[in-house]
Each structure stands twice: as structure tokens, then as C-alpha cells.
Amino acid sequence: MFDLSLCGRIRLMTTTRFRFSLPLLLLLLVAAGIAGFAQAAKQKSPKSKSTASMPVLPPLPKTGMLKDAKDRTSFTFVVLGDNRPAKQTAKQPVITGQLISDMKQYNPEFILWTGDVIAGKDPKAKVIHKEYEKFLELAKSAGVPVFNVPGNHEMNAAQNAPCPAMGKLYQKHMVKELYGAFAYGNSRFIAVNTDSLQKTANCKPPTKKYDNKGYVNKDQLDSLDAYLKANASADNIFIFMHRPMFPKSGGVGLNEVSTKKLEKIFAKYQKHKNIAYVLAAHEHLYYNALAKNDSPPPCLPSNAQMPFYLVSGGAGAPLSGDKDEGEEEEKGEFDPDAFYNYLVFEVAPGTVKVTLVNCGTDPTKAQCKAQPSCAPGP
């Protein structure tokens, strides 16, 4: 790494009338070495504008870390979301804990949570601290790493007002990444924040002209595009978010602009046939968008076109409306046929089996039963 010509000159100078002291010689050699290392680093690590990727999404605090799984091709994970209380309280719904206890029989490696984990919508630090504290206690009880993507109750203030203060509280108590990805074995998992904050967000109720049905910003879309391109060889890609792109009730899904941009990105990589499932919540129910009903989820391999869009928002949030007067949630979040639920994904070489677990409608007592799996296409 040293400049040999410089070393030669130094040797020559020490044998002539120019006598250098030992400390000065060492100083010159160190300087030459640093310059050489800097030049090599510069040559080996050129900056590139085309290497954007998703931030690494860590599990929630105190839920543990994933085990090394570079060679894993068979594993199980669980998906659920929308457990937020029916009113402004830190206390979590009773049934949420029961769902967590029930899912342990499937021995999942980890859990994907699709947001709305607290009542939220109130940028008071002490209030939100207590709410997150209670949820994280519940998440820890699962005994496996839990990954979450924020929902509107984590990112908004009252009246669905986009609120930077709420986002900062999420980053303080949960994880700093509002979106991201992680790898597990032969599969990739991507969290998309469907309540990204625009520059105009100020915690005040938006104007009537503002389309407040979620938003996915450009940085996130660019990162998603780059990540899908870089992981084209992955066997399976699972994407989870809060607001569904294709909900049961048309009025409560992710806004049309963001939905179309996501669809366009997915279409670019459809030839790889590995973007398998797009999982969401927000609606307090289960919904199979492929069949347009609540039939069990499709499994892989399948002749139907991927990705498969599923809504699993029955982890404890009210099925039939909120108790707080003046709550502004969309009516479409509630459905007379809704039931508490979660999904079990069993990944194996060349296949993904998905089981819908129906836990009934009683918020005080879960009556969980696995539904027949691998429903055919429409």
C-alpha cells in the first residue's frame, strides 16, 4: 500500500548528507500508508445513485432476534393486525392475548403485525408511552420476534390528521424504521408504511379536499423498487402494510394514486413470480381479494396470477364500531360478517400453505378454529 518510490527516496536521504531522525521517518511512512489506504478505498467503493435499498427492519423491542436462517427453506410465521382498543386506553383487548396464546401451537418463527396496535391518535407523550408499553408487554408474550408496520392510529392525530409528532413517538417506543425489509431463509419480507407523512402534515385536521386515505412517499417507492430488483432470485416475497390496496369496502383502502404506483412496481417484477402475498389490515375483518369474499386464502403453487391480496385485521379491534363518541373511523372498517382472526403461513420448498384461523366474534373469549386451507382461484 506504500509508495515504494517514496521509501526509496527516504532510504537514499538517510545514507547521504541529509540525515533524518527516526521519528520523522516514521511520520513520513505513516502518512504514505494512510494516503495509500484512502486511495484504495476510493477505488473499491465508488458511490452509486442506483444502489438504494430498503432499510433493515428490526423486530420490536424485547421480542428477541431472528435466528440465523440463511439456508432455511421450511418455516412457519403468523400474520395479524388491528388489535387497538375500542376506546382511548392503554389496556389491550382481552382477545388479543388469547389469539397470541392460540397461535403458539403452530410454532411460528416470527410474527408480522399489520399496524393499529394502540388507540393512538393523541400526540401526548405520557399517554402514548403507556399505550406502547402495554402493547410491547403483549408482543413479548408471543415468545418470538415480532415485526410491525405502523397504521393510521400510530401515525395520525385526532380526526385522522397526519401528525409528525405521532411518527416520532412511534420511532421512540417501537423502532426507528417506519418501513423496511428483512430476509429469512429463501424468502424476503417488506413492510410498506401506508401512512407516510407529507411535508404539509401538521397534526391538524386536513381540509375537505385532502385525500386522507393513506400515502406512500417517493423515497419509499424507490427503495421498494430497488429492493425487489436486487432480490429477484428470492423464492418468495411477502409484503405487509396497514391500509389494504384492495379492501372489501372500497371506501377504506389505500388511496388510488399510491395503489396504482405500487401496482406498477409489482408488475415490473411479475415475471419472477415471487411476489407472493400482499398482506394488510385496517378493515376489522378477514378478506380474500382474489375470491372477493372471506374464503380461505390461496396457497402456492397456484395457477392464479400473483400477488394474492389478503386482509387480516381481526386481532382485537372492535368488530362493530367504537365506544368513544365522535370517533371518526370509516364505517367500512366494520362488517356484519367480521370475525377475529389470524393467518398461519407454512413455507416449504416450492410451496406456501396458508391457514385462516377463525376465532369467532366474542371479544372476551376466543374460539379459534382453523378453516380449510388452500382455496382454489375464482
Report pLDDT for 210: 62
Dist CA 377 CA 181 (whole Å): 29
pLDDT band at 209 (very low <50, low <70, confident <90, very high): low
Q: What pLDDT is attached to residue 339?
A: 97
**Structure confidence at residue 211 as a pLDDT band (50, 70, 90):** low
| Contact in structure between 348 and 333 (CB atoms under 8 Å) | no
Candidates 265, 264, 189; CA nearest to 234 is 189
Dihedral in degrees, nearest 10, Cα atoms 180, 183, 184, 189: 40
Predicted confidence (pLDDT) per residue in 105-137, tens digit: 999 999 999 999 999 999 999 999 999 999 999
Nearest to 153 by CA among 346, 359, 312, 333: 333
pLDDT band with cut points at 50, 70 and 90 for residue 329 = low
Q: Please give the distance of CA 296 from its chain centroid, rounded to a whole number.
A: 23
What is the rounded CA–CA span in Å between residue 153 and residue 168?
Answer: 13
According to the model, what pLDDT value does residue 70 have? 82
Largest CA distance in the chain: 99
Q: Indicate whether 2 pLDDT > 80.
A: no
pTM for the predicted model, two decimal places: 0.84
pLDDT band at 351 (very low <50, low <70, confident <90, very high): very high
Q: Give yes or no for residue 321 having a pLDDT over 90.
A: no
Buried b (16+ CB within 10 A) or exposed e, 285-320: bbbbbbbeebbbbbbbebeeebbbbbbbbbbbbbbe
89 torsion bin: left (phi>0), alpha (psi -120 to 50), beta (else): beta
SS3 label, residue 192:
strand
In tens, the pLDDT along 45-80 reads 333 333 348 999 999 999 999 988 888 999 999 999
Name beta bridge partners: 346.
76, 353
The per-residue DSSP string of 179-191 comes to: SEEEEETTEEEEE
- Residue 313 has, within 13 A of its CA and on its CB side, a CA count of 35
Residue-wise pLDDT for 235-281, tens only, equals 999 999 999 999 998 778 999 999 999 999 999 999 999 999 999 99
By the 10 Å C-beta count (0-12 exposed, 13-18 middle, 19+ buried), 234 is classed as: middle
pLDDT higher than threshold 70 for residue 36:
no
Q: Which three cell numbers stand for residue 148?
A: 410491525
The DSSP code for 148 is E
> Cα–Cα distances in Å, from 90 out to 135, 170, 365?
8, 15, 20
d(CA 64, CA 130): 21
Grid coordinates belonging to 5: 518510490
Residue 315 to residue 114: CA distance in whole angstroms? 10
State which fold the 75-370 domain adopts. Answer: Purple Acid Phosphatase; chain A, domain 2 (3.60.21)
Give the tens place of pLDDT for each residue, 212-235.
789 999 999 999 999 999 999 999
By percentage, how much of the chain surpasses pLDDT 90? Answer: 70
What DSSP state is assigned to residue 271?
G
Whole-angstrom Cα distance, residue 42 to residue 236?
36
> What is the chain's mean pLDDT, rounded?
85
Give backbone dihedrals phi and psi of 177, rounded to 5 degrees, phi first. -85, 120
Q: What is the pLDDT of residue 213?
A: 82
Which class for 29: exposed (0-12), middle (13-18), buried (19 or more C-beta within 10 A)?
middle
Q: What is the pLDDT of residue 323?
A: 53
Q: What is the pLDDT of residues 134-190, one digit of tens each?
A: 999 999 999 999 999 999 999 999 888 999 999 999 999 999 999 999 999 999 999
Query: Quick check: 14 pLDDT over 60?
Result: no
pLDDT over 70, % of the chain: 80
What are the domain boundaries of the chain? 4-44, 75-370
Quote the CA–CA distance of 151 and 135 in Å, as a whole number: 14
Residue 6 has pLDDT above 80, yes or no: no
